[in-house]
Structure 1
């Protein structure tokens, strides 16, 4: 039986996150780690979520959670002014007033083993998945994943597997559908810049989100089947994985802390078909 500490603090969760998703894996342009609060602040409950919103803060207060961990950082660009009448500033001010610390765990969790992209690859049943672009210090980590399906699937059957595995609000496609999908690549969130890398690695399909026009046109010409499943849908399921990682690590460390995961909804919705028939 592990010995449970009566009081945990933010620093202990920073240490745990460093083992789950080291900050060194984060992209140079990213902003991860403790963004609001003090490392010494006590923590009895944690709330994990994709996005920092006022609704999330209200949920944290209802759960008496003193720590929020979001995938998308609450502070991303440099802050030149703190306007509390605007969403970003309002969130930060409210977190400070409530005494809630906020940690960002973004591209480091994208790249980490067991992170966003491993979760997506596992959901699709990919075998022997490896990063599309390996980290220089740890080749087992990196952006995107490419792996092999247990058996070749027709394009329509691959779509059926995708529909069952990932809660997609929509699906866009570019490029030709292959006769069979043997190798599949994934990159949760905005990852269409990896299309050329995926094709060069032998991928029959790349699932990602926020596909740019020029990337879609390139896929059409180059012969890569490119799928856009939406940013939220390709990343949010991995928040449950982060919750599980945190809970297990906290248990191993003897921390008596409740770990919750927010039930967020995608900000983008499809316009009803009636609109197009009007």
Structure 2
């Protein structure tokens, strides 16, 4: 059984969380090692600390996929007498490649912030801090009538044809296609040197730029022709708004006390810090995985009753309460919830033949202990 390479796995991951989604100050992508490395064992983790690397060595891991970059701050030397230097040395010694998906996985639909929102039953979501609007492309492909349904379903399942909450949005026009197979071809229809006339459909649909490569691959796989005829048109239509954090609503109002209990339970944390009046009801929720205190004004202006984020400091929390914004701080480490989602994503898309062993690190990288 041929092993898949780290590059193939990362290419799949980046169809979900492209590096272009990341903030300019971030350091996403390859951290240590080689993307050309054959991979059998993959480990997903929140952080790359030495105990996680030790676990990877023990489990013969070839590729670590982390949320937090190992090399977030630029290294000026690799001193193996320092903690960071020892980690890099150990990774190189045991030929372990490390890749980080950080703010790009925060922005991505279904990433960190959406997983958090799902756990808290926050509905009708939008980005808290929009960063960009996704570019859209019109795809027009010419398909023989016999394969229209197969091609339409393939491109739709790959991510084309979404307009709002509607999927499989396409338009078809009937026509007649002509072609003459040349020497060396192996045509699905017709013979070499003979002009063919075929009843075809022009199938049109809309594609997000980030999913274009995947959609084209699916189209070519489902299409019967040796050479597929298609056109791509850039559109001025605005696509989805992308960004970090989420704002949405709960189905019913709930007391701040009960919502704080829910945050604690759903995020599986030993405690949460709460600021505000515990008896007040909340329904509109803003949330941001990681450190979100500098966005309290964004949370308030979004109409949120409560803001769920980590690393809130004393004075910023006071300012939020004075503005009438309740705050729940479950800690930075709650971003761990995305690890299982990454594992599931890679299992579905990279491990169809069972050649990979994709696991989530069992090391708890939370540095705080509650006494």
2:18 is aligned to 22
1:176-201 Cα distance to aligned partner (Å, 9 max, x none): 44721111111111011121111111
1:123-159 Cα distance to aligned partner (Å, 9 max, x none): 0001111110123133443110111101111222212
2:199 is aligned to none
In the TM superposition, 1:124-273 aligns within 5 A as 124-138=120-134, 139-177=240-278, 179-232=280-333, 234-251=334-351, 256-265=355-364, 266-270=366-370, 272=371
Distance 2:258 2:123 in 1: 17
Q: Which sits farther off after the overlay, 35-44 or 155-164? A: 155-164
Contact residue 177 and residue 225 of structure 1 kept, 8 A: no
Contact residue 133 and residue 241 of structure 2 kept, 8 A: no
Distance 1:78 1:58 in 2: 23
In the TM superposition, 1:81-160 aligns within 5 A as 81-138=77-134, 139-160=240-261
Secondary structure in 2 aligned to 1:161?
helix
Q: Which has the larger radius of gyration?
A: 2
Contact residue 144 and residue 188 of structure 1 kept, 8 A: yes
Instruction: Point out where structure 2 has 5 or more consecutive residues left out of the alignment.
Output: 135-239
CA-atom RMSD in angstroms = 1.6
Structure 1 position 8 matched with structure 2 position 107: no
- Per the TM alignment, residue 174 of structure 1 is displaced from its structure 2 partner at its CA by 2.5
1:275 is aligned to none
Contact residue 25 and residue 108 of structure 1 kept, 8 A: yes
Counterpart pick for 2:50 among 54, 61, 81: 54
Q: Which sits farther off after the overlay, 81-90 or 137-146? A: 137-146
1:168-221 Cα distance to aligned partner (Å, 9 max, x none): 232112244472111111111101112111111110000100012332121121
Higher strand share: 2
Q: Which runs of 4+ in 1 moved over 2 A?
A: 137-141, 173-179
2:30 is aligned to 34
The TM-score with structure 1 as length reference comes to 0.90
The TM-score with structure 2 as length reference comes to 0.68
Distance 2:258 2:304 in 1: 16
Distance 1:200 1:160 in 2: 25
Distance 1:126 1:147 in 2: 5
